[in-house]
Structure 1
Amino acid sequence: MIKLPKTFTTTIGDTDLSLEFGRLAPQADVAVMARMGDTCVLTTVVLGDERDLGYFPLSVEYVEKLYAGGRIKASRWVKREGRPSEEAVLKGRLIDRSIRPLFPKSFKRDVQVVCILLSFDGEHSPEILAAIGTSAALHISQIPWRGPISTMRVGYVSEEGDEEAFIINPTEDVQDYSKLDLIVSSTNKKVLMIETMAEQVSEHILIEGIKHAHSTNVQIIEFIESIRKEIGKPKIEVVENEAVYNMKKTLKAKYASEIAILTQKYAARDDDAMVVKKDLVATVVGQNPEADPKVIADAIEDSLLDHVRTEIFEHGKRIDGRKLDEIRELKIETHLLPRTHGSALFQRGLTQVMAVATLGPTSLEQYIETPEGEATKRYIHHYFSPPYSNGETGRMDGPGRREIGHGALAEKAIMPVLPSKEQFPYAIRVVSEVMSSNGSTSMASTCGSSLALMDAGVPIKAAVAGISIGLMCKTDDDYVLLTDIAGIEDFAGYMDFKVAGTATGVTAIQLDVKNDGLTEKMIAETFEAAKKARGLILDQMGTVIQTPREQVSQYAPKVLMLTPPEDKIGEIIGSGGKTIKGIQARTGASIDVGDDGKVTISGTDQAAVDRAAETIKNIYREVHTGEVFKGAVKKILPIGAMVEFLPGRDGLVHVSKMSSGYVRNPGDVVQEGQEVQVKVVNIDERGRVNLTMMLDDDAKDSGGQRDDTGFRGAEHSDRRQRFHKTDRFHR
């Protein structure tokens, strides 16, 4: 435990990075406050007891506190932060994927990392701070870990006529203009983790961006190394499990053929694979009664993976007989479901995903509350992987971290090709239903999403496909890349390098490794293999659906978006919402006025949407002298009648403009609610509209010309003369 607070500082570009140890959370094994600008993240690391769960019990929690941005939860009833948001889960996964490969395989003690966002300035990325803080905390702790690492974000700006530029550690406002959001975790020599969304950029740009990130990471790693020299703790020694190692030698010597058969059954997902494994465990126990059945089972699992690697390295043969760069058989369909807005089935080998697209008005966008503020999300991708997709039983709870992560990756891959809200004013949700899982369902979800969106008539810029590349290696120079890895190859291999994109360039990347990282050469060759495979998949997708359908489904809502002048929004809504409610009632369309002033009109009937749009346009359109309208009499006055000639817009028909003959009482000519045709005579300086019911240009009015206002008769000589004649008669 560090007794006294101590702060260490370095510089990243123009920004100071400080790591403060020992001030907060004194009972944690290590606690570090990382700070850039006014963004502060507290990272704690605690070492627990040993638990042999069959995997390393590491948990990484990223916690967002709304107070970090000076906000209180908007809900009127719940003010406490609840379960982690999807963004928080993804940031926790990013850190987990960066640090997990460097723990010893035989280390089975609980390790919990908690990163809490305490202050956010809206400029500096808290997840980058959290990852760097985690690396520093683990490195100075007693926990065995082959770090340190560093994590860095890189942006890329390229405007026509301007010089291209990579931006290290971009602020939030600069990142908004970047064509690339690249996050790289690495040791001082190799790359461990990549997370990327890109606007169809080339592989060359990505490789250069990774180099820039790695170069900066090396500086931060040297900084963390200097901290360990000053305050680091002795590391716990880890003893390898000799029992499993010795049992693997026994299995290799005596049960090689049984292991080979069992490996084939696992690869093919045969129903009796588990039964054969149990029989093999029983056989080995019978011949080695002193052996622990659990040790035997673990040794068999390891031997299966060793067999997969051996077949590839010694025989150049994949377990399913494919070539190293061969994609499994593809099966592609669209328009599977009759009433959904868009659907597709994408199958690669035994991996099968059905994607379903649903369209809605922009009022159905997802609202997200973060320390930075409230935001909306227009494109939503949800990924579901139920137990039956693996031929298993299990609980059907909400989405887990893996499902959230896979859905987010497919979402990232599609977002760069979506049309703008102005081009396609819809909220879009895609659901990936994993029907069968045997490797790279996230990339199958990406392909299925692209197909479903085109089937739904969403005018995406280009089709998107994705592929996963695996790695088998003995050394950094002796390795093999595998295109389209199946499930057992994923378990046996050392990387899962997912690349999605169009024929033009890459839109998303996700890299996870199980070794100490990838060299620059490995990364470059992986990009090359992924590009080749992506092209083949896109070609086959194109044989099913080449371009988005010209019209959305008949069952999808029809949506129009209008941008009226700001000063006309009140007129569109009307007093107490009277005008907008009236339009909805008359047309049957739904109307929503957004905070940005845009008016969204939606409905299943295109004619109703068009009528509502025309009505709203008429509210804020300019009215010109001589235009003729059909309107309803709203009120009868002593001097004439008020006529609503456009929704929410009234004009005065003066009594002298109601008829060519003399009109004593306006009520003798019109009644309230009566529909009449009127023509615009003029519009005065106060914007008041004067109307006439005499549409014939040659018709002569009964009382000469009105005055400029039109709200009172200008000359009354004719009427006065008639009045005097009548008066004399009575006398």
Structure 2
Amino acid sequence: MQIKKEIQVAGRSFGVEFGDRGMLSDSAVFMNYGDTVVMVNANASEKPRDGIDFFPLSVEYEERLYSVGKIPGGFIKREGRPSEKAILSGRAVDRPLRPLFPKGYRNDVQVVCTVMSVENDNLPEILAINGASLALLLSSVPYTTPLAAVMVGLVDGELVLNPTSKEREVSKLNLTVCATESRVMMIEAGAYEVDEDTMIKAISFGFEACQPIIAFEKELMAAYGKEKKVPVLYTLDENVENEVRAFAKDLVAEAMHITDKDERSVKMDAVKAAVSAEFDAKYPENKSDIAETLYMLQKETVRDMAILEHKRVDGRAFDQIRNLAAEVALLPRTHGSGLFTRGSTQVLAVATLGAIGDIQILDGVSEEESKRYIHHYNFPSYSVGETRPMRGPGRREIGHGALAEKALEPLVPSEEEFPYTIRVVSEVLSSNGSTSQASVCASTLALMDAGVPLKRPVAGIAMGLFTTDDLSQEEIVTDIQGVEDFFGDMDFKVAGTSEGITAIQVDTKIAGLSPWCIEKAIRDAKTARMEILEVMAGAITAPRPEVSQYAPKIFTITINPDKIREVIGSGGKVINKIIADTGVKIDIDDSGKVFVGGPDIEMVKKAIAIIEGIVKEVVPGEIYLGKVVKLATFGAFVEILPGKEGLVHISKLDSKRVEKVEDVVSMGDEILVKVTEIDQQGRINLSRKDALVEMAKREAEQKSE
């Protein structure tokens, strides 16, 4: 039976179809918002997965290029590895859903969001979050909390719900808010230095806008939802838990009250060894329960310290940042480098400047087709003292790189101001909490060291949260370290400048955040950000006035678009010869902008002179110094401008009669010629005789004067 329902959201049709599609899935819904359509399928395994200590939720976000009328590029002509955008969208669906499943649920759950049609005004990634929630609510999977997502823009000082494509182009804010009936579950924002008050209002605006969608989901679940399966939840063996608690509680508390990280780790290793010696032989089948009980004891101790004792593990005040250090110009041959250290978190960022042609081409369903500013993030195993295999970037690395890129992008100069492609790579040297925000700081240092004229420096900080089980008490802490991230309830990252916020990313492990928590985290983050910016200014106060000697020197000239073909030449012959002769890189856009770059500024100038010569118009009556490039019985062909030749007829070679062309000129000779005519076919007729006469006349006039 087909079921079709819809409501209005921001003046557009927001609807769902289900019941007669994807019949073998536990749940399958076709979500639509305007002409954007996302199919969401939700399924779960019949039994819990044995031998794991986590919830195996898998969210896949599948972009289909037919959704925007494209055929995939490449030889295979089909979609392959998910694009970076698809990976980030999948993470955005996963993060707010995960905390809403029952604690101890170990069944494999898979949610697949397939983008099938895209209208640029209505973003599929926002629709996918709503579709994932609804698909799970309608399924037999034990998920029962409606979740909604909206986007908020800021256009001409006004908050806009789900801004259209044109509105997003001028919006100072791109904010995604995910919420339940009572709390905010996820915040993702990119902004052009939006102030804290406006950001807080925008999040509240988004929360309220989620409520009609939540009511819509609740109505559908009540009317059409399947009966929920009773979950088999993982629970600890009561005897094992009680004995381990009695044996280890005081030992764990003693260890977790040690403020020095290394000493605390050594003590906890000793506690684990003691527990293992005491219980492994006694309960050989319950080793995972023993480990889980130890984990819970550590978590409870850290949380009790914060809530009951008002203490942090390392002894800092709740609003205190760890020791900070900043340094630039570490690597001699790179274009720019910066090192940022916060406690034992340390990130080295390296900036590289390239030609405009080095932009990243994007093959996806979004409006963005290329990127000129690129940020990559590497998190090697040695950064946490481990020895896992080194492989390509995972979802976490891609997500952290994208967050740092989002934080800095509003401050990166335009192509007109700075005609370079910019790539920054953040290498995490040591990780003990919030490496993504350390990457923001290190990357700012590297860009300024590279001579990129950032409008203002950008810094980032991560805020944490500790709550009681009933969420009645909340404590916000500034600059969370690893143990606080691991045992705490949220990771609230805020990046920005002295003028405002440029990026926010919030993850939570509980059933959402209160308005008080959100506001305090944002305001405390500003205080911390100002302190960090001051330390960064001690390393470098402003972008270097010139780019590195090892960076390409890029100049821009503008030519008549009609002349582009002449610069490129047949089959690229002309432009390739310029590149071969000078060693430069040349990029030309359709508007006639020509970007010429290379390490040798003299060669760059030479290439520009050649291009300017090619596009320069030949003027009848003008005298040019040209080069003989071809001889014929009837005359000589002379190149008067790059790529532009004319014929000097044998009768025009000299004032006296010429029997043979070779009697007057040879190949390679440079001679003065006058343009006598450009015929209707564009052929240029030249005269050496007329040029000689005119030059003699000019000399006589000069002598007379």
Aligned residue in 2 for 1:370: 364
Moved more, 624-633 or 459-468: 624-633
Post-superposition Cα deviations, 1:243-282, rounded to whole Å, max 9, x if no partner, equal 4677666556553331024335797155646642432322
Aligned residue in 1 for 2:82: 84
Whether the aligned pair in 2 keeps the contact of 1:266 and 1:488 (CA below 8 Å) is: no
Shift of the 329–643 alpha-carbon distance from structure 1 to 2, 3 Å rule, reads same
Post-superposition Cα deviations, 1:222-261, rounded to whole Å, max 9, x if no partner, equal 0111101101223344576664677666556553331024
Structure 2 residue 112 is matched with structure 1 residue 119: no
Shift of the 321–42 alpha-carbon distance from structure 1 to 2, 3 Å rule, reads same
1:124 and 1:42 map into 2 onto residues whose CA distance is 15
Aligned residue in 2 for 1:644: 639
Structure 2 residue 195 is matched with structure 1 residue 202: yes
Structure 2 residue 31 is matched with structure 1 residue 34: yes
**CA displacement at 1:638 relative to structure 2:** 6.6
Whether the aligned pair in 1 keeps the contact of 2:561 and 2:590 (CA below 8 Å) is: no
Aligned residue in 2 for 1:103: 101
Aligned residue in 2 for 1:305: 299
2:325 maps to which of 331, 340, 352: 331
Structure 2 residue 584 is matched with structure 1 residue 589: yes
2:674 and 2:515 map into 1 onto residues whose CA distance is 76
Whether the aligned pair in 2 keeps the contact of 1:184 and 1:195 (CA below 8 Å) is: yes
Identity fraction in percent: 45
Whether the aligned pair in 2 keeps the contact of 1:311 and 1:318 (CA below 8 Å) is: yes
Structure 2 residue 147 is matched with structure 1 residue 166: no
Whether the aligned pair in 2 keeps the contact of 1:471 and 1:495 (CA below 8 Å) is: yes
Q: Give unpaired runs (5+ residues) of structure 2.
A: 699-705
Post-superposition Cα deviations, 1:600-647, rounded to whole Å, max 9, x if no partner, equal 322211111111012112222345577664431233467754322221
Partner AA of 1:496 in structure 2: D
Structure 2 residue 165 is matched with structure 1 residue 157: no
Whether the aligned pair in 2 keeps the contact of 1:476 and 1:519 (CA below 8 Å) is: no
Partner AA of 2:506 in structure 1: L
**CA displacement at 1:487 relative to structure 2:** 0.5
- 1:40 is paired with a residue whose SS is strand
RMSD across aligned C-alpha pairs, in angstroms? 2.7
1:179 and 1:641 map into 2 onto residues whose CA distance is 63
1:462 maps to which of 442, 456, 464: 456
Shift of the 110–240 alpha-carbon distance from structure 1 to 2, 3 Å rule, reads closer
Post-superposition Cα deviations, 1:665-713, rounded to whole Å, max 9, x if no partner, equal 5543222321234566777787666656536856259xxxxxxxxxxxx
Aligned residue in 1 for 2:383: 389
Aligned residue in 2 for 1:182: 175
Partner AA of 1:113 in structure 2: V
Partner AA of 1:175 in structure 2: R
2:250 and 2:569 map into 1 onto residues whose CA distance is 81
Correspondence list, 1:555-566, <5 A: 555-566=550-561
Aligned residue in 2 for 1:225: 218
Aligned residue in 2 for 1:721: none
Partner AA of 2:176 in structure 1: I
- 1:422 is paired with a residue whose SS is coil
Using the size of structure 1 for normalisation, the TM-score is 0.89
1:450 and 1:617 map into 2 onto residues whose CA distance is 37
Aligned residue in 2 for 1:132: 130
2:414 maps to which of 420, 442, 461: 420
Aligned residue in 2 for 1:322: 316
Partner AA of 2:177 in structure 1: V
**CA displacement at 1:123 relative to structure 2:** 2.9
Whether the aligned pair in 1 keeps the contact of 2:492 and 2:505 (CA below 8 Å) is: yes
Aligned residue in 2 for 1:705: none
Aligned residue in 1 for 2:374: 380
**CA displacement at 1:585 relative to structure 2:** 2.8
**CA displacement at 1:185 relative to structure 2:** 0.4
1:437 and 1:79 map into 2 onto residues whose CA distance is 40
**CA displacement at 1:287 relative to structure 2:** 11
Moved more, 240-249 or 270-279: 240-249
Aligned residue in 1 for 2:65: 66
Aligned residue in 1 for 2:604: 609
Count of paired positions = 692
Partner AA of 2:627 in structure 1: A
**CA displacement at 1:37 relative to structure 2:** 2.0
Whether the aligned pair in 2 keeps the contact of 1:281 and 1:293 (CA below 8 Å) is: no
Partner AA of 2:76 in structure 1: V
Structure 2 residue 212 is matched with structure 1 residue 214: no
Shift of the 237–266 alpha-carbon distance from structure 1 to 2, 3 Å rule, reads farther
Shift of the 178–246 alpha-carbon distance from structure 1 to 2, 3 Å rule, reads farther
1:192 and 1:413 map into 2 onto residues whose CA distance is 21
Structure 2 residue 534 is matched with structure 1 residue 539: yes
Whether the aligned pair in 2 keeps the contact of 1:148 and 1:221 (CA below 8 Å) is: yes
Structure 2 residue 595 is matched with structure 1 residue 600: yes
Structure 2 residue 438 is matched with structure 1 residue 444: yes
- 2:95 is paired with a residue whose SS is helix
- 1:97 is paired with a residue whose SS is helix
Correspondence list, 1:253-332, <5 A: 254-263=247-256, 268-269=261-262, 272=266, 275-282=269-276, 284-285=278-279, 292-332=286-326
Structure 2 residue 181 is matched with structure 1 residue 191: no
- 1:370 is paired with a residue whose SS is coil
Aligned residue in 1 for 2:228: 235
2:86 and 2:262 map into 1 onto residues whose CA distance is 35
- 2:141 is paired with a residue whose SS is coil
Whether the aligned pair in 2 keeps the contact of 1:18 and 1:36 (CA below 8 Å) is: yes
- 1:325 is paired with a residue whose SS is coil
Aligned residue in 1 for 2:48: 50
Aligned residue in 1 for 2:405: 411
**CA displacement at 1:296 relative to structure 2:** 2.1
Moved more, 121-130 or 527-536: 121-130
Shift of the 165–666 alpha-carbon distance from structure 1 to 2, 3 Å rule, reads farther
Partner AA of 2:213 in structure 1: I
**CA displacement at 1:334 relative to structure 2:** 1.1
Partner AA of 1:194 in structure 2: I
**CA displacement at 1:591 relative to structure 2:** 2.3
Shift of the 311–513 alpha-carbon distance from structure 1 to 2, 3 Å rule, reads same
Partner AA of 2:499 in structure 1: T
1:521 maps to which of 516, 534, 547: 516
Partner AA of 1:586 in structure 2: D
Moved more, 302-311 or 672-681: 672-681
Whether the aligned pair in 1 keeps the contact of 2:29 and 2:40 (CA below 8 Å) is: yes
- 2:272 is paired with a residue whose SS is helix
Structure 2 residue 4 is matched with structure 1 residue 7: yes
Moved more, 221-230 or 146-155: 146-155
Structure 2 residue 141 is matched with structure 1 residue 143: yes
Post-superposition Cα deviations, 1:444-467, rounded to whole Å, max 9, x if no partner, equal 111111111111111221111100
Aligned residue in 2 for 1:699: 696
2:267 and 2:399 map into 1 onto residues whose CA distance is 29
Partner AA of 2:221 in structure 1: R
Aligned residue in 2 for 1:360: 354
Aligned residue in 1 for 2:663: 668
- 1:355 is paired with a residue whose SS is strand
Moved more, 218-227 or 14-23: 14-23
2:669 and 2:255 map into 1 onto residues whose CA distance is 86
Moved more, 599-608 or 247-256: 247-256
Post-superposition Cα deviations, 1:44-102, rounded to whole Å, max 9, x if no partner, equal 11011302521111110001112222222221x21221121111110000000111111
2:232 and 2:463 map into 1 onto residues whose CA distance is 33
Moved more, 385-394 or 641-650: 641-650
Post-superposition Cα deviations, 1:6-65, rounded to whole Å, max 9, x if no partner, equal 111111122111111122211111111101222211101101130252111111000111
1:394 and 1:110 map into 2 onto residues whose CA distance is 25
Shift of the 39–579 alpha-carbon distance from structure 1 to 2, 3 Å rule, reads same
Moved more, 593-602 or 184-193: 593-602
Whether the aligned pair in 2 keeps the contact of 1:262 and 1:304 (CA below 8 Å) is: no
